[in-house]
Amino acid sequence: MLQWPVIKICGLTRVDNAAMAVSAGATAIGLVMDESRRQVSPSTAREIATEIRGRADIVCVFRGSDVTRIRQIVTEVQPDVVQLHGAESLGDVKLLLSEGITVIKALEASSREVADFDVDGLAGLLLDGSEPGSGRQVAFTPLLNRTWRLPVIVAGGLSPATVTEVITRYPVSGVDVSSGVESSPGQKDSALVSDFVRAAQDAFAQRESGDV
């Protein structure tokens, strides 16, 4: 199960970057398994997972893989969580859940599908923009318009400069960043990662204490 609140550094491509993110206090790391500037091979994902296991949640991120490939990579890498970032159906999600796989479903923040996937069994929902990993900011106002049964993680345009406002303004249980802490695609900047994690930790602590 995920550690809450989630502070996830996504799009990691190297063992040293992943170790740096965890040392900075990230509770989860994301490994992109499908076509992307930040895609890693199953063997690289396994290498990173071996280094990180037990220190943070390992999340394999899929966008376009079928259930068969997802199963194969889960067997090879043994992540703690699978994040589905594509056009997977509710049936696909339920099938993976029935096999004991912990799943986060990612959807556009403004998508009508969000209500369909707010179901028991999922570890959480991740709300993002239409271009994940682009760094473009997302409007999270839909979070204020309904009650959520599942924990919600948000992504899209987050950075050390924006994460505090998002956590204090919206009812989120986690934050997810990729390009906002990079010096180049897949290469995380240690200072930016540290600043992001510290800002998120402080904001969650302040919200918990009611001092916001």
CATH class of the 6-209 domain in this structure: alpha beta
What's the mean per-residue pLDDT of the chain?
A: 91
The Cβ of residue 92 has, within 10 Å, a number of other Cβ atoms equal to 17
Element of type H or E holding 42: helix 42-52
- Residues 151-196: pLDDT tens digits? 999 998 899 999 999 999 999 999 999 999 999 888 999 999 999 9
Round to whole Å and give the CA distance between 201 and 164.
9
Sign of CA dihedral 51, 56, 57, 59: negative
Q: What is the pLDDT of residue 183?
A: 92
Q: Where are the domains of the chain?
A: 6-209
